[in-house]
Amino acid sequence: MSLSVLTPLPGTVVAIEDVPDAVFAQKFVGPGVAVDPIRNGQDVTVLAPVNGKLAKIHPHAFVILTEAGVGVLVHLGLDTVTLQGKGFELHAKEGSQVNLGDPIITWNPTNMETLGFNPICPVITMEVAEERLDLPKPGAAVNTGDKLLSIN
Catalogue the active-site residues.
Answer: 75
Query: Do 27 and 121 meet the contact criterion of CB atoms below 8 Å apart?
Result: no
φ, ψ at 10 (rounded to 5°) = -75, 145
Query: Do 24 and 122 meet the contact criterion of CB atoms below 8 Å apart?
Result: yes
What is the signed CA dihedral for 46, 16, 149, 45, rounded to 10 degrees? 10
